[in-house]
A and B are shown apart, each in its own frame.
Chain A
Amino acid sequence: MSDFTPDIRAFVCHYTSQQSCAAGAEGMVTDGFPANVRLARQVCTGKLKVSTLLAAFEDGADGVYVVGCPADTCHNAMGSQRAAKRVLAVKKALSELGVEPERIEMFHLERGLHPEFIATAQQMDTRIRALGAGPFKGETA
């Protein structure tokens, strides 16, 4: 499956993605941000619902990740901690369904760290490529 390009969805908070997004989509790809990672910026990752993360998988994502502020210095107090718990809930649910929980991950990043923001995307891309296509494509078992 060397030609497999995973569909990855990233839910990122306004603050951790600020600097990267300022570079613009093209600038990010130039800096090494994988083109197959779709960004969905959130006012705060604490607003993310479990059902939104699951919907990404239903929509065909092979991997999903969330980037929020450091747990103890979230711009919105507890936002990224709440997001981390919801990611954990999805990990548990994926395990219950017999699916690799590594297909979803939570990352905590300082604000404005452009290279690290790119690196998390690359890390997820590498991880999901290694795991292969997600099992939720529908027709085939």
Chain B
Amino acid sequence: MIIAERKPIDEIMAMLTGVKRLLLIGCKGCVTVCSAGGEREVEILASLIRLGRKKEGEPIEIIEAALTRQCDKEYVDAIDQWDGQYDAIMSMACGVGVNFIANLRPVATVFPAVNTTSFGGSQLQGVWTEQCAGCGNCILHLTGGLCPVARCAKSLMNGPCGGSQDGKCEINPEVPCIWQHIHDRLHRLNKGASLTAIMPIRDWSTAGHGGPRKTVRDDLTL
């Protein structure tokens, strides 16, 4: 899923300067699962914004809602029901959601309430770690299922580098060296020999270096 975390309150309050009626919308997708922007977080943030505004002596009205998803036009259209009732929208979805609202509502002011951090999973309760970088050309079949693009600090294709020590990355002793893990794992699976093959220099155009990416499925388009 997409992992996000709420922005600092002062940053949020600064965005809302002058806004008297706010539509605060969460998303029931990824950000609900990672507890960043679901219904519960909407309730909490709305309360904090109201408290912050009361403290400043500038009360604010907030409509609280959560859409099924904010990355689908059909769900974003639900925003129409609040037409005329807000000065600005604050989205607690990932950046995709904020962009979708901006794409679909040309004259609405929309602000992000969260920082979108990664594609990851819940490692432990309350801890999420990045697992994939959406590079557009997956090589997990070559690396034992562990991603060097997202999980190697240098996105090396033929690691590890000289900074790998005791299975940890040189950027931080808390960070595992994923190339050490790839080596260990491939050997465990009797596929260690495959590591002698040098991976060629990568074409990063699929990873966004060729501009924004677009997926078209002719079998699905209308």
CB pair B57–A138 under 8 Å, yes or no, is yes
Q: Which residues of A contact B130 (CB under 8 A)?
A: none
Q: Which residues of B contact A118 (CB under 8 A)?
A: none
CB distance from A35 to the nearest CB of B (A): 26
Q: Which residue of B lies closest to A60 (CB)?
A: B54
CB distance from B11 to the nearest CB of A (A): 10
CB pair B50–A50 under 8 Å, yes or no, is no
CB pair B44–A99 under 8 Å, yes or no, is no
Q: Which of A42-67 contact B (CB under 8 A)?
A: 49-51, 54-55, 57-58
CB distance from B171 to the nearest CB of A (A): 27
Q: Which residues of A contact B44 (CB under 8 A)?
A: 50-51, 54, 93
CB distance from A84 to the nearest CB of B (A): 14
- Which among B50, B54, B59 has the highest number of chain A CB atoms within 10 Å? B54
Q: Which of A15-51 contact B (CB under 8 A)?
A: 49-51
CB pair B40–A51 under 8 Å, yes or no, is yes
For the complex, count residues of A whose C-beta is within 8 A of B: 19
Q: Which residues of A contact B10 (CB under 8 A)?
A: 96
Contacts A49-B40, A97-B9 hold; do A54 and B51 have CB atoms under 8 A apart? yes
Contacts A54-B51, A97-B52 hold; do A139 and B8 have CB atoms under 8 A apart? no
CA distance A137 to B44 in the complex (A): 19
Q: Which residues of A contact B9 (CB under 8 A)?
A: 93, 96-97
Partner among B40, B50, B56, B57 whose Cβ is within 8 Å of the Cβ of A58:
B50
Contacts A49-B40, A51-B40, A51-B43 hold; do A97 and B51 have CB atoms under 8 A apart? yes
Q: Which residue of B lies closest to A89 (CB)?
A: B44
Partner among B48, B56, B59 whose Cβ is within 8 Å of the Cβ of A93:
B48
- The reply on B47 being an interface residue by CB < 8 A is yes
CA distance A98 to B53 in the complex (A): 12
CB pair A138–B47 under 8 Å, yes or no, is no
- The reply on A2 being an interface residue by CB < 8 A is no
CB pair B48–A54 under 8 Å, yes or no, is yes
Q: Which residue of A lies closest to B11 (CB)?
A: A96
CB distance from A92 to the nearest CB of B (A): 9
Q: Which residues of A contact B8 (CB under 8 A)?
A: 96
Q: Which residues of B contact A55 (CB under 8 A)?
A: 47
Contacts A49-B40, A51-B43, A54-B44 hold; do A141 and B57 have CB atoms under 8 A apart? yes
Q: Which residues of B contact A57 (CB under 8 A)?
A: 47, 51
Partner among A58, A139, A140, A141 whose Cβ is within 8 Å of the Cβ of B51:
A58
Q: Which residues of B contact A137 (CB under 8 A)?
A: 54
- The reply on B209 being an interface residue by CB < 8 A is no
Q: Which residues of B contact A96 (CB under 8 A)?
A: 8-10, 48
Q: Which residue of B lies closest to A56 (CB)?
A: B47
CA distance A55 to B43 in the complex (A): 10
Partner among A50, A54, A99 whose Cβ is within 8 Å of the Cβ of B55:
A99
The 5 A-B residue pairs with the shortest CB-CB distance in the complex, in nearest-first order? A54-B47, A141-B57, A96-B9, A51-B43, A135-B55
Q: A96-B9, A140-B57 are in contact. List 13 more A-B contacts (CB 8 A).
A: A49-B40, A49-B43, A51-B43, A54-B48, A93-B44, A96-B48, A97-B9, A136-B54, A136-B55, A137-B54, A138-B54, A138-B59, A139-B57
